[in-house]
């Protein structure tokens, strides 16, 4: 039996525990969790396979069409200090669905596959997300040139992961995993479903339990080499404030996960000046899952503070610094180091504190003077990193135009340079409207409150399939605390409602596939019989014991 407590930490009062999870892709922690999932698959009697990149799949075989499948699943890896539900919630729903299918006793024509996609998060491989689903899509991933933040190639990470996984599977007295090239092929996907935790503010404020997603955003990322702190701050402020405008709020969202820049100065410039560091403190969260007006963004707060002080003659900007985090993170910490003239005028001092107050309000952050800046090992890379989340209707080309026009305007005004390198470029993905209608009917029948909305985060579902005939749907569970956040949480009741909706929809899709493919097989057989009868007549051969064509 699939038990919630085997997959998530739940207290004695049946409430999920809020705790930081550090389960980067292909690490020991990820292996431990996957062994729990493999054990559950094998106890259900599923055939468990693993492919070249580490995707894991449990299969309930179809009786007639082994090359067609209904797919359900998600990922188990996390960002640094993430929550326990981002990813595993969808795996749990996939396993509950498998259990319900098996318990129903139905013989289905096509396979049901519960898939755990490898390395969905981009934390370990900077800017490289959804590696497992990209591999299944057929992308030509270079296992040797993709390097982890700990200096290992993707190939080395996979080798270490598999060695440890096979070892722990054996130690747990489980059956050996069946190694295959790919756990599924593109042309076998009939329907792909994914349950997830996302859109906390939207679902919570609407009082709905379930979110049915119409479109999934695609990341557009750039690394910017900006010549000085003031120019970078202007760039951050202009793009952030543009994205907050009502006409743009449903088109795109922007985040700057890295803002670590040093201005050019000499020790002579600092003589007689007081060096101070202020820290903007916000809240780390997923850049796509958090609306622009709900963010506590330390980088935007810091940039606004700097911009408001940019013409203060008594303040010299020396350095900004953010902590390491994922490429799709709102940063919760940004340090700004100043050199301040100790003989600053009262007007300058007043402007300093006024800027701090205004930036606190606009960025929804706090500022505090600190004596211990971010340690070198925890600092983000030097430079400015931009993550844009866009929806249907805004192509990567339009994103480029919007960003570069803003940069050109700033360069023109400041006479400083901005050089940008595009690191990721994707188009938004539209889910299946028929599945949204079916899921809506399921929710209504079960008296579950639901909302139709968009996803502003990337997901394996959007990456997985390039098969135009595949039906896909992303389904959200209501939650609080956002995602990519230790405070991310939901309720046991909400988890079970999500699993219930995913299961009911998957079983409906299996029934649909039964009808579709059995009829196709019947029609094919009937056509062949017609051809045989016509050919026999041409040859003058009488078929013995001829019954009607339809019966045969």
Sorted by where each begins, the domain ranges of the chain are 10-194+487-515, 219-425
Confidence category of residue 224, pLDDT binned at 50, 70, 90: confident
Q: Which long-range contacts (CB under 8 A, 24 or more apart) does 370-379 make?
A: 370/277, 370/278, 370/279, 370/335, 371/277, 373/277, 373/321, 373/335, 373/337, 374/321, 374/322, 374/323, 374/333, 374/335, 378/323, 378/324, 379/260, 379/321, 379/322, 379/323, 379/324
Average pLDDT, the chain: 90
Whether the pLDDT of residue 377 is over 50: the answer is yes
Greater model confidence, 535 or 361: 361
Residue owning tokens 């504190």: 353
pLDDT of residue 544: 59
Whether the pLDDT of residue 227 is over 80: the answer is no
Whether the pLDDT of residue 412 is over 90: the answer is no
**pTM of the predicted model, to two decimals?**
0.84
Say what the alpha-carbon torsion angle 355, 356, 360, 366 is, to the nearest 10 degrees.
170
Whether the pLDDT of residue 551 is over 70: the answer is no
Top mean pLDDT of 180-189, 451-460, 520-529 is at 180-189
Span 462-473, mean pLDDT? 92
Span 123-137, mean pLDDT? 92
Span 125-129, mean pLDDT? 84
Q: Where are the alpha helices (DSSP H) in 367-459?
A: 396-414, 433-445
**In CATH terms, is domain 10-194+487-515 a member of 3.40.630.10?**
yes
pLDDT of residue 543: 62
- Among residues of the chain, what percentage have pLDDT more than 90? 66
pLDDT of residue 248: 86
| Residue 25 CA: distances (Å) to CA of 75, 114, 122, 150, 487 | 9, 19, 9, 12, 21
219-425 CATH pick, 3.90.226.10, 3.40.50.150, 3.30.70.360, 1.10.1740.110: 3.30.70.360
Cα–Cα distance measured from residue 205 to residue 200, given in angstroms and rounded to the nearest whole number: 8
Q: Answer for the pair 158, 27: CB distance below 8 angstroms, yes or no.
A: no
CB atoms within 10 A of CB 281: 18
Sign of CA pseudo-dihedral 481, 485, 486, 492: positive
pLDDT of residue 446: 97
Q: Which of 494, 502, 493, 492 is nearest to 478 (CA)?
A: 494
Cα–Cα distance measured from residue 133 to residue 135, given in angstroms and rounded to the nearest whole number: 5
Whether the pLDDT of residue 335 is over 90: the answer is yes
Span 198-219, mean pLDDT? 88
Report the range of poorest mean pLDDT among 106-120, 128-142, 271-285, 513-527: 513-527
| Residue 234 CA: distances (Å) to CA of 242, 248, 278, 309 | 12, 19, 19, 11
Whether the pLDDT of residue 411 is over 80: the answer is no
Beta strands 274-281 and 329-330 are unpaired
* Strand ranges (E), 343-401: 366-370, 383-390
Beta strands 450-455 and 178-179 are unpaired
pLDDT of residue 519: 66
Residues 6+ apart with CB under 8 A from 431: 213, 214, 215, 216, 461, 472, 473, 474
pLDDT of residue 95: 98
Q: Which tokens go with 441?
A: 């009917």
Whether the pLDDT of residue 522 is over 80: the answer is no
Q: Return the H-helix or E-strand segment holding 204.
A: helix 200-206
Greater model confidence, 62 or 552: 62
Whether the pLDDT of residue 552 is over 50: the answer is no
pLDDT of residue 52: 98
């Amino acid at each position: 039996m699939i038990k919630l407590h085997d997959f998530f930490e739940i207290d004695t009062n049946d409430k999920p525990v809020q705790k930081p999870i550090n389960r980067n892709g292909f690490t020991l922690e990820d292996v431990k969790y996957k062994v729990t999932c493999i054990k559950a698959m094998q106890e259900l009697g599923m055939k468990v396979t693993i492919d070249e990149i580490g995707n894991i799949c449990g299969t309930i075989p179809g009786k007639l069409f082994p090359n067609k499948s209904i797919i359900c699943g998600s990922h188990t890896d996390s960002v640094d200090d993430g929550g326990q539900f981002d990813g595993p919630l969808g795996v749990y729903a996939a396993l509950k669905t498998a259990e319900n299918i098996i318990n129903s006793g139905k013989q289905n024509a096509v396979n049901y596959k519960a898939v755990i996609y490898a390395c969905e998060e981009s934390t370990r491989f900077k800017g490289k997300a959804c590696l497992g689903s990209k591999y299944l899509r057929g992308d030509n991933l270079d296992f040797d040139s993709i390097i982890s933040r700990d200096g290992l190639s993707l190939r080395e990470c996979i080798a270490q992961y598999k060695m440890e996984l096979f070892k722990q599977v054996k130690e747990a007295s489980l059956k050996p995993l069946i190694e295959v090239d790919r756990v599924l092929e593109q042309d076998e996907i009939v329907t792909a479903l994914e349950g997830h935790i996302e859109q906390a503010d939207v679902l919570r404020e609407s009082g709905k339990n379930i979110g049915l997603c119409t479109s999934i955003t695609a990341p557009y990322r750039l690394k910017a080499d900006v010549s000085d702190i003031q120019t970078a701050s202007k760039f951050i402020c202009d793009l952030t404030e543009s994205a907050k405008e009502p006409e743009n709020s449903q088109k795109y969202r922007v985040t700057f996960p890295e803002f670590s820049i040093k201005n050019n100065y000499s020790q002579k410039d600092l003589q007689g000046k007081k060096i101070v560091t202020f820290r903007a403190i916000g809240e780390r969260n997923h850049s796509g899952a958090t609306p622009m007006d709900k963010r506590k963004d330390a980088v935007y707060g810091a940039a606004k503070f700097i911009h408001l002080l940019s013409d203060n003659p008594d303040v010299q900007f020396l350095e900004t610094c953010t902590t390491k985090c994922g490429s799709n993170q709102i940063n919760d910490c940004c340090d700004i180091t100043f050199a301040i003239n100790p003989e600053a005028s009262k007007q300058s001092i007043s402007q300093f504190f006024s800027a701090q107050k205004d930036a606190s309000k606009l960025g929804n952050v706090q500022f505090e003077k600190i004596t211990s800046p971010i340690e070198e090992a925890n600092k983000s890379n030097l430079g400015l990193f931009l993550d844009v989340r866009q929806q249907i209707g805004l192509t990567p080309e339009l994103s480029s135009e919007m960003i570069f026009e803003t940069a050109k305007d700033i360069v023109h005004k400041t006479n400083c340079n901005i050089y940008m390198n595009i690191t990721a470029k994707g188009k938004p993905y539209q889910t299946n409207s028929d599945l949204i209608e079916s899921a809506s009917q399921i929710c209504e029948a079960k008296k579950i409150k639901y909302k139709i909305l968009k996803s502003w985060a990337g997901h394996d579902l959007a990456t997985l399939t390039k098969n135009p005939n595949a039906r896909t749907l992303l389904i959200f569970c209501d939650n609080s605390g956002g995602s990519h956040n230790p405070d991310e949480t939901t309720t046991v009741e909400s988890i079970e409602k999500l699993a219930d909706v995913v299961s009911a929809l998957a079983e409906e899709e299996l029934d649909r596939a039964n009808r579709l493919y059995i009829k196709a097989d019947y029609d094919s057989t009937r056509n062949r019989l017609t051809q045989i009868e016509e050919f026999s007549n041409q040859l003058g051969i009488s078929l013995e014991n001829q019954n009607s064509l339809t019966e045969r």
